[in-house]
Structure 1
Amino acid sequence: MSALRAPASPGTRPAAAPRRAPLTSLPGGAADRGRRLDAVRAPLQATSGVPFLVLCAVILAGALLAALLLNTSMARGSYEASRLQAEVGHVAQDVQSHQEKLRAAEASLAERATRLGMVPAEDPTMISIEKRAKVGVGEADAGADATLGP
């Protein structure tokens, strides 16, 4: 037990403490003025820790407010993203249903045209309005001029 020491026996002397250098005064101190003690005035304005505490509180409040705003904006963005994903899913379903309707209409187009009394064109000729020319000239019109009007 190192914390407990045995009492010193009457015939032993305690170990001598190391010698220290004598204390000397600094220039401009009380020894230079010739007096041993001087009365010291209290500082005119004592420093207070309140401004530092206010600064710490403001920084903490600002950090908490920034975290709250960041969290709120991220939550709003998450809700917006999930809403947009749901909307994209609905639009994709609509596109698929319209494509199916279009394929069905294309398949029944020839039958519907025949019921209306239409006959397939043997030699179609198409006209381009932008170029003002015949495009896809049929065999019957192959010898004719391919440009239209003035």
Structure 2
Amino acid sequence: MSALRAPATPGTRPAAAPRRAPLTSLPGGAADRGRRLDAVRAPLQATSGVPFLVLCALILAGALLAALLLNTSMARGSYDAARLQAEVGRVAQDVQGKQEQLRAAEASLAERAAQLGMVPAEELTMISVEERATVGIDEGDAKAGSAGTP
């Protein structure tokens, strides 16, 4: 006996337990199992998350590889551009030097021709290869830089 119950006294009755409803079986329960066979669907199988994780890893690896290739290609382009810029600078300096030499040669051309015994022409002429003759040029055409026709 438990220490929490009050001791029974001679003349009192213990309290009666409440009455419960009798248990009955529900339709389709264990009692009906032997009587009929039902077609049931196979239980759903749990899908694995591995293919999804592999797909995510492949996408991530592809994105990283693409970023690496893009970065490498841009760095190579940058080096090529710097090399070409330096080459353009060198060529520009060469052109400038040649232009200075040409200006100096033009300035001293008349003086060098006089030293060689040449005299300025009184009338400008050209040699026509087709006609095998010399052709005169008008003074206006010579200043314009174009040759006149016979």
Change (3 A) 1:110 1:80: same
1:126, 1:135 within 8 Å by CA — same for their partners in 2?
yes
> 1:107 matched to which residue of 2?
107
Deviation at residue 136 of structure 1 after TM alignment: 1.9
Q: Aligned to 1:33, which of 1, 5, 28? A: 28
The unaligned stretches of length 5 or more in structure 1 are 1-30, 139-144
Q: Following TM superposition, where does structure 1 have runs of at least 4 consecutive aligned residues deviating by more than 6 angstroms?
A: none
The unaligned stretches of length 5 or more in structure 2 are 1-25, 34-41, 140-148
Larger Rg: 2
Deviation at residue 34 of structure 1 after TM alignment: 2.2
Change (3 A) 1:129 1:90: farther
2:126, 2:136 within 8 Å by CA — same for their partners in 1?
yes
**Aligned AA (1:92):** A
What TM-score comes out, normalization by structure 2 length?
0.60
What TM-score comes out, normalization by structure 1 length?
0.60
Change (3 A) 1:98 1:104: same
Question: Partners of 2:83 and 2:105 in 1: how far apart?
Answer: 33
How many residue pairs were aligned? 107
Aligned identity (percent) is: 73
> 2:69 matched to which residue of 1?
69
Does residue 136 of structure 1 match 2:137?
A: yes
1:126, 1:137 within 8 Å by CA — same for their partners in 2?
no
